[in-house]
Structure 1
Amino acid sequence: MNDQHKEFLLEGLDCAHCASRIENGVRELEGVSSCSVNFVTKTLRMETEQGIDIPVIQNTRELIQSIEPHINVVDRRKTKQNPVRNFYLEGLDCANCAAKIEKEAAGLPGVSLSSLDFVSKTLRIKTDPTATEKNDLSAEIVQIVKRLEPGVKVVQQSPHSRSEKSQEDGTKNAVMLTRIGVGAVLTATAAFAPLNQWLEFSLFLAAYLIVGGDILLKAIRNITRGQVFDENFLMSLATAGAFAVGQFPEGVAVMLFYQVGEWFQSLAVNRSRKSIRALMDIRPDYANRKVGNKTERVSPEDIRTNEVIIVKPGEKVPLDGKIIEGESMVDTSALTGESVPRKVKPGSDLLSGTINKNGVLTVEVTKEFEDSTVSKILDLVQNASSKKAPTENFITKFARYYTPVVVITAAVLAFLPPVLIQSASFSDWIYRALVFLVISCPCALVVSIPLSFFGGVGGASKAGILIKGSNYLEALNDVKYVLFDKTGTLTKGVFNVTRIQPENGFLSDELLAYAAAAEAHSNHPIAVSIRAAYGIEIQPDQIEGYNEISGHGIEATVKGKEVFAGNEKLMNQEKIAFTKPEADGTIVHVAVNRVYAGYLAISDEVKEDAASAIRMLKELGIKKTVMLTGDSKTVGERVGHQLGLDEVHAELLPHEKVAQVEKWDARKLKNEKLIFVGDGINDTPVLARADIGMAMGGLGSDAAIEAADVVIMTDEPSKIPEAIKIAKRTRRIVWQNIIFALGVKAIFLTLGAFGIATMWEAVFSDVGVTLIAVLNAMRVLNVKNSA
């Protein structure tokens, strides 16, 4: 059965009518049992009879070429041989090592992107598919990790597999606590028991090796590879130096407290990881496939479209589908952040990742798992870390140069004063330099900053706001101009025909029939409302010609008659005399054989929270809120006045919307950003042109998820200021950590240089600051307090 399902990407498909012709033509081919073409995603799906795949595929390609010669037909199975590969690094707990692994993996042949998310311990590699055939990428990744972090285990994942916490974390914690305990006992014995000098030194040395042996080994191993400047080197040099100048208790104590701090830091990071995973714990574990009168529990990846599944009370919905039997309340909070369950019944669309609350539902699957809502959301959130914020990139570069500078400064501090100052002793200044080294470790920044951004992206997704990268999350802080589409963005996009006004002897039913036939191939909400008002299925053979005139309307041949349906621009272009109505709403004029047949008035409602969203944006410091719409000037100005927008530009063609965005883009200052908010379907060029494209995605809108940088899953304009608030809260926490960490280190580096701070203060300024910064970063997960 699985081999019967075919899917093709129609590259270059830009005509809705052609999509309909292709669908109808392929459906009639011999050996094809079903066919559907999604114009938005340019995807053709078909079911073929077993054993005749090759001739059917060849005939399909030939048919498509005959209809639209410029279309390139691509087998989706080849495009789905995902060039992105994920590796889970089990046991990774060193942020600096993570940065090294990421950098080395990026240098492998054929690798175009290497991104290691320290929070989820996932290395994401994007490659040229031909390169991965020639090279054993997995083996090369394992070699890199083994060389840099021998204790880390590499596990290759499927794109949608979970990064489960392994038992190794628990084992590592137990071993570390045992080492710390034994080291503490030996240190206490050596410090307080009446022992001779050699026995005392032996106990201190044994304690030092037990507690810090792994740090020493890592430092030596890294030095042999030419990777000198990291926290292992700093701690080894500082503590070994303490032994060299006779400060045995401090040398052991520093290593002991460093390891205790690392253990606490590991607990805090793992807790934060767990919190973020819990936010996105929407992936279903199984699906109940219906087979005859029985059900079988299978993986969601094994279910195909048109198969039937059963969703029981309390279960997560595993795949997108349509309900064919049963009623229930569904919890959508994991996708939208909405706490109130929604009622569903036969005919309702059901989305994966939601939770069935009470009734038993029988569902026909409409999308395979990799195309489902839950899969797309997980992919967006989990891979958001590959698009790093400028602050993250800055901290990575800063840490790279900061540590060598500190080591060189420490060397100067150790040897220059004793040479220049007659009374200065080498042992005293070497001790100060060692204190300087302990303080200098940049772990607080390297760990807490990515954690903050990842938490911000995860928290936003919990609120129904999908942000495709931490770079977009940070950019939201600088937004000063917000430009909106009208239909489906500020208004509900649910149109109703409120008036039918025939002219020149045409009847109302006749006018509506011509308009519905002309709009038969359009997916625009206005066209849908006209067909809904007509209420009769339009036969394809009634329409002989079809031409969509961008920004004007439709030209079609209906039952041998030339029909124009569109706005005033279309009537003026075709030089057809028409009536200018005073009616509210959008007007669609209709002409038959160049004779004006009348008009339809179609109304739309403003969303309940649109006015409050505009008000909140102004409170956040937005300079201008502007609406760009293709609708009439009368309708646009009425909506703009109702919502309190600063400017309204109406009757715009798609390219004129882009021109408006470019005009406003030229007005903004260098560090200011511009958002365009659209519905993600017909606003793709404008979404791409804006600094940040934000789509009112709706639940499960493929086009919105593909087109925008930020997707509002609930279609609520009030989520726009909420996204900006989350971004501002995230940046605030990031800068708190940066200022706190650098400030404390600067103070203690100064104290250490003047001999005031000892090793004990040095340990606090390193490990203590890191722990506090990590705990502060966890606050970003509290989305409710993002204001």
Structure 2
Amino acid sequence: MTQTPALKTQQMQVGGMDCSSCAMKIEGSVEKLPGIAEVSVNVAIGRMVVSYDPQEVSEAEIQKQVTRLGYTVAIEQSRTLTSSHASTNGHVDDDHDQDDGHDHGHSHGSGEFNLKKELPPVLLAISLFAIGIIFEEPLHNTPYNIGELAVFIPAYLLSGWSVLKTAGRNILRGQIFDENFLMTIATLGAFAIHQFPEAVAVMLFFKVGELFQEYSVGRSRRSIKALLEVRPDSANLKVNGTIKQVAPETINVGDQILVKPGEKVPLDGEILEGNSQVDTSALTGESVPRIVNIGDPILAGMINKSGALTIRVTKLFGESSIAKILDLVENATSKKADTEKFITKFARYYTPVVVFLSLAVAILPPLLIPGANRSDWIYRALILLVISCPCGLVISIPLGYFGGIGGAAKRGILVKGSTFLDALTAVKTVVFDKTGTLTKGTFKVTQIVTRNGFSEAELLALAANAEANSNHPVAQSIREAYGQPINESDIKDYEEIAGHGIRAKVQNKVVLAGNDRLLHRENIDHDICDVAGTVVHLAVDGRYAGYILIADEIKEDAAEAIRDLKKAGVERTVMLTGDNEVVAKRVAGQLGLDAYFAGLLPEDKVGAIEKLLDRSGKKKVVFVGDGINDAPVIARADIGMAMGALGSDAAIETADVVLMTDAPSKVAEAIQVARKTRRIVVQNIVMAMTIKGIFIVLGTFGLATLWEAVFADVGVALLAIFNASRVLK
């Protein structure tokens, strides 16, 4: 059997990616290298994520391929992933600090895009252009058009020097069909046929359009940086009664830290002293502060609002919830939606096709049509060159998805990639786990029913001892009801029986605690099977001792969540539970669910999901679970959602979408955000294609001028970018 090679997934910061076809150019170039499995470039945060086989290609070769194109590259951090992990997860789970000092100059050199630096030459070019238009006739009448050239050439060079320089450099490197080449050929052609004002107008409007474009990309970067500001900068470490300010990365598990009012919580931990209100909006999107007391868990990224808190650190900074969340948000766009992939491929073919079409328009009509004016047809060809620039599509579609992922994150919904955002638009079946998802998962003992001479106190004591080592919410509720310390030496031979319950020896008595299936499995005679509620049956030394009834409340917004899903066009809502038929039927009836499956073992849940999956793949199935013991089902569904998973590593690793709160209503909200994003992306595609198509026809028939063509091209790009930015709101 052939072993799949381990792929290495590397993150790199790429400087100078402010022009619209940069991502497409880099991806196309890197993909040509041997051993490259996948490459994804995100213009909005200046990052490239590449998965490759290190035996076939090295980091240095990948870097060299990118720098050949005129960009700067800096390695962030690498981690070797198995090929299956790299292909199924939309993020690289590295814990690293983002370096915000990378380069973003449009000329692909170093230096952050600076509007104040870019604006003066453009304003001077506009002034010269205005002079040239106002005094066009006297300037035109000078010998050899020297007056016109003296005004228009400086205006042309001021507005277009970076474009000319980049086009020349790219041609030398074999990168021909990009917007720099198109603008250079179109404007030099216009100069050749003495259309000086048009040549300058094309370059000037193109430059102004690029400034707007760079500003929009910069704004997207800033919105992500604002999200990253929840990353704490320092921590107050308690050392021998004194407070020392240190970097969060240097603190170890078990250390104690002090968080003063108004400060960010730097690491995950447990409160040892103090009580306060904490602002969790940066993590969960919830505006109402949460009250925390001694013994409560607290997470990095929360903001302490009132009292001082002493916290015992439970996780290293790199393993904290906020580090994982920020990594997810930063890397979410590395898994591209099919629409993005289509546009990238389309742009690669569209531009050369239109270039050759414009060449045909310039050459063939003067040869084939009697009396055709060569200059007129060259002018029409130049219009096609301007229209062939794919800027609007190439930048606005990734920006749309990026905005959708950022907008969802602001609402406490983490989507691991635009591919999952797209999949959410086709959801027709939503499947919920019951405990902790539709119900609160906070169990309380409500009734103790005894049999065969056992007392209630005796039954509760035996159950609490038997459940002493279990982390299940039901076990915790029994121990809380017992309320007395448990002597661990009384408990021996503890064994968890998956999907059934527990067997343990308590004070030399064999105690069974679990569901009705456990009693049947162990052949225990009992007089009651179905009980309305969550129930724990007990047997002692093979004799039925009775049962403990435990209540679990339904979440306040659960019924509303089901109604919202119906309004959103979801056809079926289903519940899976390990509870008995009676409990499942009662909860499903109260919430208005379409169907339920009761009495399921963990492996049965996977089987139930498989029955619900649409074989054609058109109607997607979402599974929503608490992310702790639902990993196999989350992985099997088309889209796995982990709910209330703040701090759950298993959830963040397995799920495609992580809901930061316990609210089921977030499921419908996630679908709405996805649909809004898709709608905006489709609007951009249709708008750009339609306008470009119209102007290609008008230009070919001589019904459009270069002025109109450049307005259309720059206008399409700007409209698409502004439309894409709406999704962030």
**CA-to-partner distance for each residue in 1:364-405, whole Å, 9 max, x for gaps?**
111111111110110111111111111111111111111111
* Equivalent residues of 2:16, 2:104 under 8 A apart: no
Distance 1:539 1:399, change over 3 A: farther
Which residue of structure 1 lines up, in the alignment, with residue 84 of structure 2?
A: none
Which residue of structure 2 lines up, in the alignment, with residue 64 of structure 1?
A: none
Which residue of structure 2 lines up, in the alignment, with residue 692 of structure 1?
A: 639
Q: CA deviation at 1:521?
A: 2.8
Distance 1:184 1:322, change over 3 A: same
What secondary structure sits across from 1:452 in the alignment?
helix
Which residue of structure 1 lines up, in the alignment, with residue 21 of structure 2?
A: 96
Q: CA deviation at 1:515?
A: 2.0
Partner AA of 2:11 in structure 1: N
Which residue of structure 2 lines up, in the alignment, with residue 31 of structure 1?
A: none
Match of 1:316 among 264, 273, 281: 264
CA distance in 1, matches of 2:473, 2:428: 30
Which residue of structure 1 lines up, in the alignment, with residue 97 of structure 2?
A: 160
Which residue of structure 2 lines up, in the alignment, with residue 710 of structure 1?
A: 657
Which residue of structure 2 lines up, in the alignment, with residue 57 of structure 1?
A: none
**CA-to-partner distance for each residue in 1:546-574, whole Å, 9 max, x for gaps?**
33222222223333332222111111122
Pair 1:615 & 2:563 matched:
yes
* Equivalent residues of 1:516, 1:534 under 8 A apart: yes
**CA-to-partner distance for each residue in 1:55-97, whole Å, 9 max, x for gaps?**
xxxxxxxxxxxxxxxxxxxxxxxx9xx9654333334212312
Which residue of structure 2 lines up, in the alignment, with residue 3 of structure 1?
A: none
CA distance in 2, matches of 1:623, 1:459: 26
Which residue of structure 1 lines up, in the alignment, with residue 629 of structure 2?
A: 682
Distance 1:215 1:319, change over 3 A: same
Alignment of 1:179-190 (within 5 A): 179-190=121-132
Q: Quick one: higher RCO (CA 8 Å, sep 6+), 1 or 2?
A: 2
CA distance in 2, matches of 1:101, 1:269: 17
Which residue of structure 2 lines up, in the alignment, with residue 382 of structure 1?
A: 330
| TM-score (ref. length: structure 2) | 0.91
Match of 2:41 among 102, 108, 116: 116
Pair 1:326 & 2:274 matched:
yes
* Equivalent residues of 1:465, 1:723 under 8 A apart: yes
Partner AA of 1:115 in structure 2: S
Q: CA deviation at 1:418?
A: 1.9
Match of 2:181 among 233, 242, 249: 233
| TM-score (ref. length: structure 1) | 0.84
* Equivalent residues of 1:589, 1:598 under 8 A apart: yes
* Equivalent residues of 1:280, 1:462 under 8 A apart: no
CA distance in 1, matches of 2:645, 2:605: 22
Match of 2:612 among 664, 670, 674: 664
CA distance in 1, matches of 2:598, 2:289: 37
Pair 1:143 & 2:64 matched:
yes
Farther-moved stretch of structure 1 (277-286 vs 305-314): 277-286
CA distance in 1, matches of 2:170, 2:49: 24
Distance 1:106 1:413, change over 3 A: closer
What secondary structure sits across from 1:338 in the alignment?
coil
What secondary structure sits across from 2:640 in the alignment?
strand
Any stretches of 5+ residues in structure 1 without a counterpart? 1-78, 783-787
Distance 1:162 1:422, change over 3 A: same
Q: CA deviation at 1:606?
A: 0.2
CA distance in 2, matches of 1:285, 1:479: 40
Distance 1:427 1:213, change over 3 A: same
Q: CA deviation at 1:520?
A: 2.7
Pair 1:345 & 2:270 matched:
no
Which residue of structure 1 lines up, in the alignment, with residue 468 of structure 2?
A: 520
* Equivalent residues of 2:530, 2:582 under 8 A apart: no
Q: CA deviation at 1:167?
A: 9.4
Which residue of structure 1 lines up, in the alignment, with residue 442 of structure 2?
A: 494
Which residue of structure 2 lines up, in the alignment, with residue 585 of structure 1?
A: 533
* Equivalent residues of 1:308, 1:364 under 8 A apart: yes
* Equivalent residues of 2:237, 2:244 under 8 A apart: yes
Match of 1:548 among 496, 521, 543: 496
Distance 1:776 1:223, change over 3 A: same
Which residue of structure 1 lines up, in the alignment, with residue 588 of structure 2?
A: 640
Any stretches of 5+ residues in structure 2 without a counterpart? 1-5, 78-94, 106-110
CA distance in 1, matches of 2:158, 2:676: 42
Which residue of structure 2 lines up, in the alignment, with residue 735 of structure 1?
A: 682
Which residue of structure 1 lines up, in the alignment, with residue 246 of structure 2?
A: 298
Distance 1:538 1:103, change over 3 A: farther
Which residue of structure 1 lines up, in the alignment, with residue 115 of structure 2?
A: 173
* Equivalent residues of 2:69, 2:173 under 8 A apart: no
Alignment of 1:199-214 (within 5 A): 199=146, 200-214=148-162
CA distance in 2, matches of 1:677, 1:498: 28
Q: CA deviation at 1:356?
A: 1.0
Partner AA of 1:568 in structure 2: D
* Equivalent residues of 2:121, 2:158 under 8 A apart: yes
Match of 2:402 among 424, 439, 454: 454
Q: CA deviation at 1:711?
A: 1.2
Q: CA deviation at 1:655?
A: 1.8
Farther-moved stretch of structure 1 (289-298 vs 300-309): 289-298
CA distance in 2, matches of 1:166, 1:383: 19
Q: What percentage of residue pairs aligned between the two structures are identical?
A: 55
* Equivalent residues of 1:696, 1:711 under 8 A apart: yes
Cα root mean square deviation, aligned: 2.4
**CA-to-partner distance for each residue in 1:213-251, whole Å, 9 max, x for gaps?**
221222222222222111111111111111122212211
Partner AA of 2:370 in structure 1: Q
**CA-to-partner distance for each residue in 1:480-507, whole Å, 9 max, x for gaps?**
0011111111000011111111211222
Farther-moved stretch of structure 1 (553-562 vs 233-242): 553-562
Q: CA deviation at 1:274?
A: 1.6
Distance 1:609 1:119, change over 3 A: same
Q: CA deviation at 1:107?
A: 5.3
CA distance in 2, matches of 1:689, 1:537: 41
Q: CA deviation at 1:743?
A: 1.2
CA distance in 2, matches of 1:403, 1:106: 19
CA distance in 1, matches of 2:524, 2:74: 70
CA distance in 1, matches of 2:113, 2:620: 48
* Equivalent residues of 1:88, 1:163 under 8 A apart: no
Which residue of structure 1 lines up, in the alignment, with residue 703 of structure 2?
A: 756
Partner AA of 2:119 in structure 1: L
CA distance in 2, matches of 1:509, 1:107: 73
Aligned residues: 696
* Equivalent residues of 2:19, 2:214 under 8 A apart: no
CA distance in 2, matches of 1:396, 1:566: 56
Farther-moved stretch of structure 1 (284-293 vs 442-451): 284-293
CA distance in 1, matches of 2:438, 2:472: 16
Q: CA deviation at 1:276?
A: 3.6
